Amino acid sequence: MLKRMIFLVVLLVFGCAVKQPIIPEIVKSEPLFEFTATSWIEYNVWNIHNRTYHIRYSTDESMAPAIADLITGLEDIDGLSRMDVKRYKFEITKSPVYSWDEIEPKIKEAIEEFEKAEPEEPKTKIDRKGDV
C-alpha cells in the first residue's frame, strides 16, 4: 500500500508537469488590432481559419440598410466557408483552400464601404405628440 501511495505521489509530481507548446508567432500581446477607422480584428490563436471582426456603428434603425449591404457584400466574397453575424461583430471562417491574404482585402473593402454609408433620413417626421 505504501509503495502505491509513493508511486502516485511521484506520478502526480513529475508525470503531470506536461506543458502545452506555445507557438510564439501566433500569440499576440493585444487581443484586438485596428483594421479600419471604426473596426478591429481579433485573431483566433487556436484556429487559424477563423477571425472575428468588431465594428462600431450606430444602432439607429436608419443604419439597417447599410448593415444589410455589408452582410450581402461579405457573403459574395469567395473563400468564406462560414459567417456568423452578431451585433457589432461577425466571425468569419475561411476555406482551407484560400489564404487570408486573398480574402482580407475584400473584407476591408466591404467594411470601408460600410463606413462611408450615411444613415437614411426617416421618410416621415413624427412630432413629440406622436402626430405625423
Question: pLDDT tens-digit profile of 62-103?
Answer: 777 888 888 888 888 999 888 888 878 888 888 889 988 898
- Strand, helix or coil for residue 67: helix
Residue 112 lies in a domain: yes
Q: Is residue 128 part of a domain?
A: no
Confirm whether 95 is domain-assigned.
Answer: yes
pLDDT of the residue at 14: 61
Is 68 among the domain residues? Answer: yes
Within a domain: 84: yes
Alpha helices in the chain (DSSP H): 2-10, 64-75, 100-116
* Closest to 120 in 3D by CA, of 64, 68, 73, 59: 64
Mean pLDDT, the chain, rounded, equals 75
Residue-level pLDDT at 29? 45
- Can you give the CATH number for the domain in which 49 is found? 3.30.1370.70
> Is 73 a member of any domain?
yes
Count: domains in the chain = 1
pLDDT (0 to 100) of residue 35: 78
- Domain range holding 50? 28-116
* 0.75 surpassed by pTM: no
Q: Is residue 54 part of a domain?
A: yes
Distance CA(19)–CA(22), nearest Å, equals: 9
